[in-house]
Each structure stands twice: as structure tokens, then as C-alpha cells.
Amino acid sequence: MWLACSQRCGSALFRAMFAEVDLDSAGNLLGFRISQPGYLCLGCGAPAFDLSEVPAELAAEEAEERASVPVAVDVLCPVCETAVSVGADRECPNCGAELELP
């Protein structure tokens, strides 16, 4: 986890808004669990974010990468008549003939 204030006030203290605290019968703290992500900056009260979660920027980059992968096209090999899905390399895996994309 890497929390950061949305106002970038520089504070390094945050409060989890949805934490469940476990106590024993004497009221001693046994542990806690974050039941829902949600944090406040203790410095200025602004919402804080967990930067360790995949930032939207990274996700967009990944989607772009996926989009640049050539889409496979199904063609029939003109030599051996095998149905081949042609992607990056345009060669028949069966006979090695060069394939033409429709």
C-alpha cells in the first residue's frame, strides 16, 4: 500500500474510513481489517488514494499494447488447403507456403 493525499499536502498520516477493529472482552485491540478501501488525509482532510493499486494510466497503456497485436485472420492455405489463422507470421504451419490475406 502506498497512500497519497489527493491534495498533495505532504502529510504522511492517513485514516482508513472503513476499518473493522477486533477487541477482546477487556477492550484490548487484537487487530483490524480494512473492510472497504477509503482513506482520508489526516493533514488536510482530503481524500487519499492508494497509489499501489494499478493506476489508470498503466491500464490504458496495457490496453493500447493489446490493440496493437495483429488480429488473426482465418484463411485457407492455397497449397495444402489447411485452414490457418494468420497473425503476425504469414506462413502455413503445415507446408510453409506463404499465405495471402484476404
Interface with Zn ion (CB under 5 A):
5, 7, 9, 11, 41, 43-44, 46, 77, 79-80, 92, 94-95, 97
Provide, rounded to whole angstroms, the least separation between the CB of residue 31 and Zn ion: 27
How many Å apart are CA 102 and CA 64, to the nearest integer? 25
Of residues 11 and 34, the one with the C-beta less far from Zn ion: 11
Of residues 3 and 77, the one with the C-beta less far from Zn ion: 77
How many Å apart are CA 96 and CA 93, to the nearest integer? 6
Contact between residue 101 and residue 94 where contact means Cβ atoms under 8 Å apart: no
| Residue 34 CB neighbours (<10 A) | 14
Provide, rounded to whole angstroms, the least separation between the CB of residue 90 and Zn ion: 11
